[in-house]
């Protein structure tokens, strides 16, 4: 039902997993020279990946300069603490992204045929979306919903629209299934999906896909319309920094992804 196409964060995650798998084989530590030889990655690429993996706590550098697996990797792999570790790690990443892009940020997933926002990070200067219409009924109008729908095949999209009427929420909402499906078909997987006051007057949003295994998900942000001029730049930055989210989900693919209610304001 899902149709996944690789994005830049996806490629970064795959390379990072190759590095992690190689480090894990060397219990006493492995040099960056050996890592480059074993993974086939260029020196500059490997250095950037090791920097990210050390920042996330997945690898550590020993006193002798070799690399070993870090505590964060062990926690995510834990049978009883792994789920909590995943949620805490994702929340820290979302908090960091919120501060970096200057916007409320969200993780969402398509679960059992419905849109579900599973975690978010907001703040006094980065207010979350006022969920005045249940996101499950507004996929046609939100960046989150449209990003998730673009990752489904045509039959999956039609099934969703058959169960959820494309109601007019603002004057900008697309209410024609034909037009919406055409827009979804033409949406490049590497370009953020935008919502320019289609869901709520006064709010603009953007979303980028995050696919972990067979799970369909996305990372999104929202801004007050007064900051709409920042939307595309913020969305591009969100996309560039999506790899740590994908990596956490790839390491711990059994995450519960339980919904996180946004409230009504």
Can you read off the two tokens belonging to residue 258? 């339980």
Average pLDDT of 153-167? Answer: 96
Going by pLDDT thresholds of 50, 70 and 90, the confidence category of residue 198 is very high
Domain ranges in the chain? 101-237
Chain centroid offset of residue 17 CA? 17
Distance separating alpha carbons of residues 103 and 127, to the nearest angstrom: 8
Burial zone of 193 (CB within 10 Å; 0-12 exposed, 13-18 middle, 19+ buried)? buried
Per the CB < 8 A criterion, the answer to whether 56 and 247 are in contact is: yes
Distance separating alpha carbons of residues 127 and 119, to the nearest angstrom: 14
Of 131-135, 146-150, 208-212, 255-259, which gets the smallest average pLDDT?
Answer: 255-259
Percent pLDDT > 90 in the chain is 72
Strands (E), 99-216: 104-111, 114-121, 193-196, 203-209
Sign for the CA dihedral angle at 164, 170, 176, 181 comes to negative
Can you read off the two tokens belonging to residue 232? 């595309």
Can you read off the two tokens belonging to residue 2? 């899902």
pLDDT value for 262: 65
Per the CB < 8 A criterion, the answer to whether 107 and 219 are in contact is: yes
State the angle between helix axes of 8-25 and 43-55 in degrees (0 to 180), rounded to the nearest 10: 80
Question: For the structural domain made of 101-237, what CATH number should be given?
Answer: 3.30.450.40
Per the CB < 8 A criterion, the answer to whether 161 and 185 are in contact is: no
pLDDT above 70 (res 45)? yes
Q: How far is CA 240 from CA 205, 209, 213, in A?
A: 17, 12, 20
pLDDT above 80 (res 101)? yes
Phi, psi of 106 (to 5 degrees): -140, 150
Per the CB < 8 A criterion, the answer to whether 257 and 119 are in contact is: no
pLDDT above 60 (res 7)? no
C-beta neighbour count of 16 within 10 angstroms: 24
pLDDT value for 260: 61
Going by C-alpha positions, the residue among 123, 150, 165, 168 that lies closest to residue 207 is 150
Can you read off the two tokens belonging to residue 56? 């996330």
Average pLDDT, the chain: 90
Going by C-alpha positions, the residue among 103, 139, 129 that lies closest to residue 229 is 103
The residue count for the chain? 265
């Amino acid at each position: 039902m899902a149709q996944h196409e690789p994005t830049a964060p996806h490629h970064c995650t795959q390379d990072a997993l190759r590095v992690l798998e190689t480090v894990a084989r060397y219990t006493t530590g492995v040099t960056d020279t050996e890592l480059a030889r074993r993974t086939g990655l260029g020196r500059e690429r490997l250095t950037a990946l090791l920097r990210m993996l050390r920042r996330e706590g997945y690898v550590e550098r020993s006193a002798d300069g070799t690399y070993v697996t870090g505590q964060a990797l062990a926690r995510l792999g834990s049978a009883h603490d792994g789920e909590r570790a995943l949620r805490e790690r994702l929340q820290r990443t979302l908090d960091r992204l919120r501060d970096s892009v200057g916007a409320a940020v969200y993780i969402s997933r398509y679960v059992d045929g419905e849109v579900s926002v599973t975690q978010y990070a907001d703040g006094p200067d980065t207010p979350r979306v006022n969920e005045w219409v249940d996101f499950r009924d507004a996929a046609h109008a939100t960046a989150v919903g449209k990003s998730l729908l673009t990752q489904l095949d045509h039959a999956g999209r039609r099934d969703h629209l058959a169960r959820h009427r494309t109601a007019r929420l603002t004057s900008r909402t697309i209410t024609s299934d034909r037009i919406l499906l055409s827009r979804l078909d033409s949406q490049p997987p590497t370009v953020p999906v935008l919502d320019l006051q289609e869901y709520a007057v006064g709010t603009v949003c953007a979303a980028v896909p995050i696919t972990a295994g067979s799970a369909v998900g996305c990372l999104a942000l929202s801004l007050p319309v007064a900051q709409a001029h920042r939307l595309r730049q913020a969305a591009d930055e969100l996309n560039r920094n999506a790899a740590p989210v994908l990596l956490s989900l790839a390491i711990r693919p059994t995450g519960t992804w339980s919904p996180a209610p946004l409230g009504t304001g």
